Amino acid sequence: MIQPNCRARFTAQDFEFVVRVLARDRRQQVSLVELLTDPETRDQILDHESLYHAILENTGNLTISPQFYFYILSRLVLRRSGIEDRILTDYVAALLEKFSSARQMRGPVADAPATYLSDLLLALKGASPYQAFLIQTHVGNYALFVTGIFHENIESRRQRGAPSCSFYEELGKTSFHAAATHGVAKKFELCPVFETLADRFRDCRLALNKLADELVDLGDHRYCQT
């Protein structure tokens, strides 16, 4: 189960990167290190535009973690789309981190191991309440990922009779709405995240389109399966 925990998993190298990019001298380095220990101040520092410029303009090997990388870039495109919720950004970044590996896109329950959405939806009929929750969140996550990162691929397949982005959007909205009402979502304080993802699915999807088109390359386009 994906949780909005990227910021809780930043590494020492991530913070070293922040200090290296933002500090002008040793005194500022010391101050930044102290400020980064406060969660609220840290969040404000992470919004500094110099950080994503440093990531995007880097010509060598970045020494930052995947969770830091995806958080900074997700925060950039979501804010540009009018979405300021940091917890939502954290969730989207965690989703990108996980689904950047094709192996992580497999179904969440043993009876539906494939990435085919039709198999997952059929598995809902005989699923336990907890399994249903896992399937619903996975379908929502999958729909957001493929429409956000591989929208051009979906459009190309649509012209050959495959489902459109609108189909995935509606499926994603419905799945997140259903997941938001589940007791597991309440237990892990995910109800507001799922409700916002359902209500603003299209906004999040379009933000990820910009991320995919302008900022990152997550590999080949062989993910979309219905």
pLDDT exceeds 90 at position 141: yes
CB count within 10 Å of CB 75 equals 24
User: What confidence score (pLDDT) does residue 16 get?
Assistant: 92
Residue-level pLDDT at 165: 87
Q: In this predicted structure, what is the pLDDT of residue 222? A: 42
* pLDDT tens per residue, range 185-226: 999 999 999 999 999 999 999 999 999 988 876 654 444 454
Nearest CA-CA partner of 66 in 139, 1, 13: 13
Contacts 24+ apart (CB under 8 A), 17-26: 17/51, 17/54, 17/62, 17/63, 17/64, 17/68, 18/45, 18/46, 18/51, 21/50, 21/51, 21/54, 22/48, 22/50, 22/51
Task: Give the separation between CA 96 and CA 74, rounded to whole angstroms.
Answer: 9
Is the pTM higher than 0.85? yes
Mean pLDDT, the chain, whole residue set:
86
User: What number of CA atoms fall less than 13 Å from residue 108's CA on the CB side?
Assistant: 21
pLDDT value of residue 162: 75
* Residue 218, pLDDT score: 61
Q: What is the model's pLDDT at position 71?
A: 97
Percent of the chain with pLDDT over 90: 60
Instruction: Give pLDDT tens digits for 61-85.
Output: 888 999 999 999 999 999 999 999 9
**Amino acid 34: pLDDT:** 84
Q: What is the mean pLDDT of the segment spanning 3-27?
A: 90
What's the average model confidence in pLDDT over 46-59? 90
What average pLDDT does range 138-167 have in this prediction?
86
What is the C-alpha separation between 33 and 182, in angstroms, rounded? 40
Query: Is the alpha carbon torsion for 54, 58, 63, 64 positive or negative?
Result: positive
pLDDT category of residue 111 using cuts at 50, 70 and 90: low
Where along the chain do its domains lie?
Answer: 1-100, 102-226
Whether the per-residue pLDDT at 148 is higher than 90: the answer is: yes
**pLDDT above 80: residue 107:** no
Q: Is pLDDT at 46 greater than 80 in this prediction? A: yes
pLDDT of residue 102 exceeding 70: no
Roughly how many angstroms between the first and final C-alpha of the chain, as a whole number?
Answer: 21
Which residue matches tokens 């459009």? Answer: 155
Rounded CA-CA distance 182/82 in Å is: 28
User: pLDDT at position 36, please?
Assistant: 87
